[in-house]
Chain A
Amino acid sequence: MNGILKRKGYWIAGTAVALAGVAAVRLVAPALSYGGLNQAVTISGYVLAWLGIIILACGSGKRS
């Protein structure tokens, strides 16, 4: 778990970004009426969640 503690910024940021994506898709988008804004928020949410997972993965291992 040392590697995680050393690069905790990535793990925290990755989780936060991915959860922000989840919130956009599951909380914000359903509250908006169906239309362009709703779809934009949903798509942005999926992209954010995907980016969050990539950031998480970047926080692992000894990289040169």
Chain B
Amino acid sequence: MPQLDVLYLFQGIATLVMGDPLIAIGRIVLIALGIAFVYLGARGTLEPLIMIPMGVGMASVNAAVLYLSATTMGTIFIDPMVSNPVKLLDALQINFLQPIYTYTFSNGLIACLVFMGIGVITDVGYVMMAPFSSMVIAIFAELGTIATFPVAVWMGLTYKEAASIAIVGGADGPMVLFTSLMLAKDLFVPITIVAYLYLSLTYGAYPFLVRLMVPKRLRGIKMDLKSIPKISSGEKLTFAIITCTILCLLFPVAAPLFMSFFLGVIVKESGVTRFIEFIEGPVLYGSTFFLGLLLGVLCEANTILNPKVLILLILGSLALLISGIGGIIGGYVMYFLTKGKFNPVVGIAGVSCVPTTAKVAQKEIQKVNRHALILPFAMGANVSGVITSAIIAAIFVTLLR
């Protein structure tokens, strides 16, 4: 009987022992992190829709490194760095997730599909009922994006990388994915993971920011819901198509994102049930599932262990923190403009994590005053935040690409 080489039999362990010790430690940490994501996602502490597929992908890919040839190590999941057409053709036939990555990730399609789904569950009527306050708050809530950009450049990132991480301040996952794919392809994996990780944490962290910045007396302000106009589907549809055309004329580079979002809105308002069910079900959940899974699979230690990751972690949290502060400042501006009739907590909803931040605002207000309902105003700021984030992303891509 020939002598059995255990390490040859279990190549996942062999590559761990034989490879660079730093990468080996990275792989073990990422496997543990993947398992933690699955656990926290299943418990509901982190967003399960993203974290469960991402955690499974992360743990599996780091466990499944094998010898592709006598000297090279890799996986048969995906090769994100392949660009040579011949090698790409090979990769498409060998790596089982390569077709999804090549045909939906690297061209931004998956971000557009998620955006289409967001469009179909979004009611633009909330923006149209209070356009001025919604837009003002949304602009203030971009403070994190604007302020983080120079800080990122100061910390040594290029303009393109700085813009990609600064967009995390807009708190919109698909937008971060789209911008980083357009501007910083080498860093898009860590940037998008940082973004999705932090976005999952906003639900837990923003209530503390609200309580810190808005005194209890102001948190209880009741807003006038009688002044809310009734917006018809026809008006929403007309608004959506005109706004979409104007934004596409202004920013052709980001036109796929605008078109996807407003297509979702228009499908919803036109009431075509079959399309609504298709987009809000298979398209939205299918793309979210593969987005999570591929982000996890892309977290292979060799790809993600970049010296810039620590900087990205700091900048991502800074961007979201400043955006939250900016949003609340916007709420205060509206409070003073309306002579005390506007609840400043609505400002946090300007950070466009739909509908998480709107729910945070409503929850915090109801803890102080059970009869205060601000959700329509918060949703208006929330949807405006999505549009404003897309505009800022478009400006960055137009100027820096």
Contact = CB atoms under 8 A, between A and B. Distances in A.
Interface of A: 1, 3-4, 11, 14-15, 18-19, 21-22, 25-26, 45-46, 49-50, 52-54, 56-64
Given A18-B246, A26-B249, A57 B234 contact: no
Contacts of B223: none
A10 to B, nearest CB: 11
A3 B232 contact: yes
Name the residue among A11, A50, A53, A60 with the largest chain B CB count within 10 angstroms: A60
B251 to A, nearest CB: 9
A60 B231 contact: yes
B226 interface: yes
A60 B239 contact: yes
Nearest to A59: B235
Nearest to B398: A25
B153 interface: no
Contacts of B230: 61-62
A25 B250 contact: yes
B250 A63 contact: no
B250 A58 contact: no
Interface residues of B, number: 23
A20 B36 CA distance: 52
B238 A4 contact: yes
Interface in B126-141: 127-129, 131-132, 135
A11 B239 CA distance: 9
Contacts of B69: none
Nearest to A14: B242
Contacts, number: 71
A21 B400 CA distance: 21
Nearest to A22: B249
18 contacts: A1-B232, A4-B235, A4-B238, A19-B246, A22-B250, A49-B250, A50-B135, A54-B132, A56-B242, A57-B127, A57-B131, A57-B239, A59-B235, A60-B129, A60-B232, A61-B235, A62-B230, A63-B227
A63 B231 CA distance: 10
From DSSP, what is the main secondary structure of chain A's interface residues?
Answer: helix
Contact of A57 (B128, B226, B395): B128
A46 B229 CA distance: 27
Given A21-B250, A22-B249, A57-B127, A62 B229 contact: yes
Nearest to B235: A60
Given A60-B229, A61-B129, A11 B238 contact: yes
A32 to B, nearest CB: 17
Nearest to B226: A64
B45 interface: no
B226 A4 contact: no
A30 to B, nearest CB: 12
B246 A53 contact: yes
A56 B243 contact: yes
B246 A52 contact: yes
A64 B128 CA distance: 14
Contacts of B226: 64
A18 B245 CA distance: 10
Listed residue (B230, B231, B242) with the most chain A CB atoms within 10 angstroms of its CB: B242
Given A52-B246, A61-B231, A61-B232, 4 more contacts: A4-B235, A18-B246, A21-B250, A60-B236
Contacts of A15: 242, 246
Interface string B260-277: 000000000000000000
Nearest to A52: B246
Contacts of B131: 53-54, 57-58
A26 B246 contact: no
Given A50-B135, A60-B229, A3 B235 contact: yes
A57 B387 CA distance: 14
